[in-house]
Structure 1
Amino acid sequence: MGFILFFSIFTLIYGLMGWLVFSQVGWTLNLTGWPRLLLALVFIAMTLSPGLSGYAGERYGLYAMITYLWLGLIFYLFLGSILIVLFRTVHLAFVARIIGYLVLVCSVGLLTWGFFQARDIGVTKVEIVSGRMAPAAKPIKIAFVSDVHLYSVEGDSRLQRVLKVLNGLDYDILISGGDLIESGIHRNDWQLLAEEIKKLRPPLGKVAVRGNHEIYANMAAGEDISARFHKAAGFDLLNNRLLELPALSIVGMDDPHSREKPENGSRELDLLKKTSSQKPVLLIKHQPFVQEKTKGLFDLMLAGHTHGGQIWPFNYLVGVLFPYLRGDFDLGQGSRLFTSVGVGTWGPPVRVGTKPEVVLITLKPAS
């Protein structure tokens, strides 16, 4: 019922946006007769597509690609349509029509650029000094990936891009910050993707936490598909657990969307208090929410979830909900936070104003 309610509300809002776009595009192009009818049918079909594909759990392939590229296009056309309406309201029809053509060209241009931008994964390098490390200790290199969203629009091509970047890096441990998989993955040959990830064998292993989309995947599958996938991929999945390595302490917190509701201050605080003062401490959480009481108990918190807003100007809205939107933050008391914009996409397979990243962190002792 939750899925039906979500997609019903989404389709209603999306339909209203599409109606405004259809009316203004039709006016701009001066469409009448069968061309206008044909455009109307296209708008109706594409408005229903996200809800139908989402409810069916089929979110990848050519159909999904067209569906969600159209969603991205409608978003920008909607913003432009508001501008057209404003100029028409003050009886500047000529100016409004010029703006209409510019909106069409710019929207297609932004979508095209964002499509290729989403496929250009960069490497962001970060250095963190830990007072807990012995002066002569060897630096620890951490590869951090988040929000891959496997089987969101794309099949295995997204994973291949990520693996290409990871295989070109030198690191001691690989950490996944959640949303590695997408709901509906159980309908596909996910074992093949897991086997590809399993081939990555850094010296200190691979660690992961669950994001909200792992929870959704479990709900859609009717089983703990996230645990099965991470195990098959060779990850140690930390569900509110402390992992002690010879040179590193890692606390991994489950996403608050979990039905078990494990995300509470006392649980996180208790785990951090159990860590060694002689080793650097990592806190891994999918969402970048910081609890004041935990500051000073960890050297670095790694998070994702926000996608950095993914598509401009969503970054302004997401930034209100998540003040630690993206990048490196000094939290004080010797603790830092890095929020990754992630490597994948959700919804439209485009990025405008954000570039996907694998984060390479070097933990080193104070000089």
Structure 2
Amino acid sequence: MRFIIFATIFFIVMSLFSLYVSKRFVKKLHFSKKIKHLINTFLAINLLGVLAYMLARYNPSVPNWIYFLLSVPIGIIFLLFITTIFYDLLCVIVNRAPIDEKRRGFFKKSLDIGALSLATAVNAKAMYNARNYQVEEVDVKIKNLKKPYNIVQLSDIHIGGLIDKEFIASIVKRVNSLNADIVVITGDLVDTNIKYAQAALEELKNLKSTYGTYFIVGNHEYFHGVQSIIKYVNSLGIKTLENENIYIGEKNQGFYLAGVYDLMGNRVDAYKPDLKKALENIKEEPTILLAHQPKFIEEVKDSVDLVLSGHTHGGQIFPFNFLVKLQQPYIKGLHKYNVKTQIYVNKGTGFWGPPMRLGSSSEITLLKLT
């Protein structure tokens, strides 16, 4: 029922975006009626693609190439919508500029061609960005840490649909080249029924590090059977931190690694985050907490040295990051929360929805602790 409500609202929003593009962009173009009709037809087909995407979202029988074609329209509509907003503003400037009509017509035609070309180029670039992740190296100073450690952080992979076995295998190969002391996965690893994610998850058994791989659930795990996902991930030799902590490194030379359930647990009244329990029996040594959503930092206050989060995707497609900022205190990168506590927000190793990223690259984080 939750998905039906979400899908209905989402489709209505996409329909309104498409209507705005048609009325405020396509209609104003100094092109022939035939060309404008073709563009509107493309918008209509695009909108049908969004509807088909919502129906195919969790259907594993849909081939990847079809799933790709169905998922791209979401990003195309959103980027065209943003392009239209800027186009509208520039049209106002051109129309009010103190120039003769002939020159005004020239500028208007140039604007039309430029806007359409830019929209096409931006969509192509966004699709390229989604499949090409970057390693972000981040230096983090932690008080009283006796020796340096390297932590590799993955987040928001969203296995399911276009994120498949091959994609995970390429991530594992890159991670293994970084000589990590530990690997952490900060939620939203699985975004489909666990039986359809098993082949991709099996690749994670090949992750190599000195002290192992650790996982916490994100909000999307709650949509697909959080208990079954935790059980399967644990069977791979990956430790799920369920409101608990573990000591990493040699005695008196390491740090505590704690993890909590996601805030979604409070909404569904199951698998609720419990910071007090997660930090039980921790002594006066550095502590790192895995918490999927950055806003969990408000509960942490100064009880840990470093929080590692994800969830935001760095906004994924600009300027969506401004909307994310309304819900989360941090979007990406390293931040100092108070005198003791820092937080790092991973932009996401995979993507959700359209295979597009603009202004926010896919990320594998190498945190160098000193």
TM-score, normalised by the number of residues in structure 1: 0.85
| Structure 2 counterpart SS, 1:130 | coil
1:87 shift after superposition: 6.8
Aligned to 2:333: 327
Q: Could you say what the CA RMSD is over the residues aligned between the two structures, in angstroms?
A: 2.8
The runs of 5 or more residues in structure 2 that have no matched partner are: 96-103
In 1, Cα distance between equivalents of 2:200 and 2:362: 20
Alignment counterpart, residue 195 of structure 1, candidates 193, 202, 210? 202
User: Aligned in 2, Cα 1:40/1:128: closer, same or farther, shift over 3 Å?
Assistant: closer
Does 1:231 find its partner at 2:234? Answer: yes
Change (3 A) 1:86 1:273: same
Aligned amino acid, residue 139 of structure 2:
E
* Kept after mapping to 1: 8 A contact 2:244/2:277: no
Q: Deviations over 1:80-119 (max 9, x none)?
A: 2334556778994945554333222111111211222222
Distance of aligned partners of 1:362 and 1:46 in 2 relative to their CA distance in 1, 3 Å threshold: same
- Matched with 1:172 is 181
Residue of structure 2 equivalent to 1:209: 216
What SS does structure 2 have at the residue aligned with 1:239? coil
Measure the CA separation in 1 of the matches of 2:58 and 2:234: 27
The aligned runs of 1:293-312 (5 Å cut-off) are 294-312=300-318
Distance of 2:92 and 2:306 partners within structure 1: 53
Alignment-derived partner of residue 104 in structure 1: 116
Question: What TM-score comes out, normalization by structure 2 length?
Answer: 0.84
Report the Cα distance in structure 1 between the residues aligned to 2:43 and 2:304, rounded to whole angstroms.
55
Distance in 1 separating the partners of 2:127 and 2:39: 28
Number of residue pairs matched?
352
Structure 1 pair 97/123, CA: closer, same or farther in 2 (3 Å)?
same
How many Å apart are 1:207 and its aligned residue? 0.6
Map 1:272-351; keep pairs closer than 5 Å. 272=279, 274-277=281-284, 279-291=285-297, 294-351=300-357
Residue-by-residue CA offset, 1:195-214 (whole Å, 9 max, x unaligned): 21102232211110000111
Residues of 1 paired with 2:164 and 2:42: CA distance?
Answer: 30
Q: 1:58 to 1:5 in 2, by over 3 A?
A: farther
Partner of 1:54: 57
Query: Is 1:121 aligned to residue 111 of structure 2?
Result: no
Q: Distance in 2 between matches of 1:263 and 1:255?
A: 7
Deviation at 1:161, TM superposition (A): 2.9
Q: Give 5+ residue unaligned stretches, structure 1.
A: none
- For the residues of structure 1 that align with 2:153 and 2:244, how far apart are their CA atoms? 18
CA–CA distance in 2 between the matches of 1:110 and 1:204? Answer: 42
Could you list the per-position Cα deviations for residues 220-256 of structure 1 after superposition, in whole angstroms to 9, with x for gaps in the alignment? Answer: xxx7342244124321111222223453312111111
Q: Distance in 1 between matches of 2:137 and 2:92?
A: 50
1:102 aligned counterpart, secondary structure? helix
State the SS of the aligned residue for 1:361.
Answer: strand
Q: Which residue identity does 1:69 align to in structure 2?
A: V
Cα distance between partner residues in 1 of 2:261 and 2:47? 39
Distance of aligned partners of 1:55 and 1:358 in 2 relative to their CA distance in 1, 3 Å threshold: closer
Query: Which residue number in structure 2 is paired with residue 4 of structure 1?
Result: 4
Structure 1 distance, partners of 2:87, 2:363, is 36
Q: 1:37 to 1:121 in 2, by over 3 A?
A: closer
1:251 matches 2:258: yes
Amino acid corresponding to residue 231 of structure 1 in structure 2: N
Instruction: Report what 1:25 is aligned to.
Output: 26
Distance 2:62 2:324 in 1: 23
The 3-state SS of whatever aligns with 1:109 is helix
Partner of residue 358, structure 1? 364
CA offsets 1:11-44 (integer angstroms, 9 cap, x no match): 1111111122234336534334984784465244
- The offset of 1:53, in angstroms, is 2.0
The residue type paired with residue 122 of structure 1 is Q
- Cα distance in 1, alignment partners of residues 344 and 50 from structure 2: 37
- Match for residue 276 of structure 2? 269
Q: What does residue 13 of structure 1 align with?
A: 13
Moved more, 87-96 or 44-53: 87-96
2: CA distance, partners of 1:8 / 1:362:
44
Quick check: 2:297–2:307 contact (8 Å CA) kept in 1? Answer: no
Counterpart of 1:12 in 2: which secondary structure? helix
Structure 1 stretches of 4+ with a deviation exceeding 6 A read 57-60, 87-91
